[in-house]
Structures are given as C-alpha cells and as structure tokens.
Amino acid sequence: MYTACLISAWLVFGVIVAGNGNIAVVQDPAGSRGAPPVKRNVQISLDVDAGVLIENWEGKRLGVDFKTGKALDEIAGARVITHETSSTFVLPFDKSGKFYQLSIDVKSECTANLSMTGPGFVTGFHNLSLRPREIQKLGLASNGAALTFTSSRAGSGPQIFLTAQSARDQPSYRFEVTAASLDTGKTVSVSTDMIAGRLLFNADDTNKVQFSVMMRRTNPGGIRGTYQHHDISFARTNRYAMKFNSWDGKGELCFYDLCDGCEKEPCTKLKNESLK
C-alpha cells in the first residue's frame, strides 16, 4: 500500500504558511502590551499514520516507545495531537538551536511529509520514503536553523527545506536541498547562517554525493528571484557553503569547498539553472 498526503495552509505562531512554502509575519492588531509573556513553542507535523518518538537534548522523550508500545510524555510543556492519518507534536521553542531527534516507524510503505513550524520559520522534509521495519532518523534544530537526515537504506534522500524571515523590511528565503546516492546509515546535514548569508550542507558519506540546491528569495516589495543548480559534487569531502546574501537575483552564486585546508580557496561559481 502506497500512500501520500500533502499539507495545504495554516496559521500558527504569527506566521502564515502557504502550500508552496512561502511565509509571512502577521502582526497582532490589538497589540500585546501589558499582557504576560507568551511561552513560545514549535509544532512538528507528520502527514501519515506512523509511530513517532521524539527525544530532546536532555534525553527526555515524547511519543511511542517502539520496544514496549508505551506512550511517553517526559518533556515538560509538550503535547501530542493525533488524527486518523496524521499527528502533531507541540514542543518548547529554544533559541539556542538544540536538536530534537526523531525516530519514525510505519506499518505500511508510504511517502510522507514532515514539517516544523516556529516563530518566523518553517523547516522540514518532503517525500520521505518510509518502509516497515526501517526506523527513519531525523534531527530538527529547535530554532529552525538546521536539519539532519540519516538514510535508512541506500539511495536518494528527501527534499530538505528551510524557510526564514528575520524582519518585515528584510527578504524572506526558502532553501531546498536534496542528496543522491547516499549509503545506508549516512547523514545529510543542512543549516543556515542568516548573519553571514550562507547555506551550509554536507554528507558524511565517504563516496561522492551529488547535491541539488534551490533558493527562492522574496523581497519586501514582493519581487521574487529563484536560483537552482543540480549535481553539485566538486568538493573533496561532500561539505559545502553557498554564499547568498550578495546575490543579484538572477545570476550565478559562489560555492565553497569546506574541506580541511580549503578555507582560503576561491569560490566556485555555479550558474543559475532556473533561467531559461
């Protein structure tokens, strides 16, 4: 049985998230002056019926113990919202970016989408290929700045995406990274450094991994620019940095090899393949 579900649109944490992944910050017209501080959370949503176990940076767990089948509720302030074919986990937001580690187990083969929504960001995975008796491992930074995917079998990974908006007068970004030809048990890591204007991505596979990258920038006036490049594989150790903060909105971008001793090497300019 092969199933797939899609998330359309929702409003949460003062962020409107459309089906295409764009985000917009919403202001409270009534204001919140004088009100007690609101405790911020992140919301992890999975659109298929699956067993999920989440572990925080202190070893506390939420979800299902796969060995015993027992429900676990060890994370203070967290809760689970279950539906017939989906589940949502509400967890504390931590601005330091400590990781939530996820394990996913399914009873039938399916393709899934998982997202984490928090203050000013949406991150997640599209087209996760899940199979019975294969525990899928994921990592999500609680501030939305980083994600990890560990392959449960050899092959291509899912689309890993991050969106971010720092302020209403600054551009918003959506990044998508996919990796091909991963060995079993190897991990892909993707993160953003919005201050330095860099997208970082790597794989701990000793074999060459081919990456594909897409970036969409939306300026405050609504003008969009898209950059895309496939089959990135020039780095010695599958570690890359993409410099995006000085992009002209149409042309090439600078990529850097992050191997040991490569810091002073010039950038490798890769063309924008989204241009016709």
Residue 165: its pLDDT value, please? 78
Of the listed ranges 94-98, 132-136, 145-149, the least confidently predicted one is 94-98
Each residue of 92-103: pLDDT tens digit?
898 889 999 999
Determine what percent of the chain is predicted with pLDDT higher than 90: 72
From 164, 119, 129, 122, select the one nearest 149 (Cα to Cα).
129
Of the listed ranges 12-21, 142-151, 180-189, the least confidently predicted one is 12-21
Contacts of 241 (CB under 8 A, 6+ apart): 198, 199, 200, 255, 256, 258
**180 CB burial (10 A radius; 0-12, 13-18, 19+):** middle
Cα–Cα distances (Å) from 77 to 61, 88, 152, 228, in that order, read: 12, 14, 31, 40
Question: Does the pLDDT at position 26 exceed 60?
Answer: no
- Residue 167 banded pLDDT, cuts 50, 70, 90: confident
Of the listed ranges 56-60, 161-165, 210-214, the least confidently predicted one is 161-165
Q: Calculate mean pLDDT across residues 229-240.
A: 94
CA distance 124 to 146: 10
- Residue 254 banded pLDDT, cuts 50, 70, 90: very high
Question: Does the pLDDT at position 237 exceed 60?
Answer: yes
- 121 DSSP assignment: E
For the entire predicted model, the pTM comes to 0.84
Question: Does the pLDDT at position 231 exceed 90?
Answer: yes
Residue, of 32 and 212, whose pLDDT is higher: 212
Average pLDDT along the chain: 87
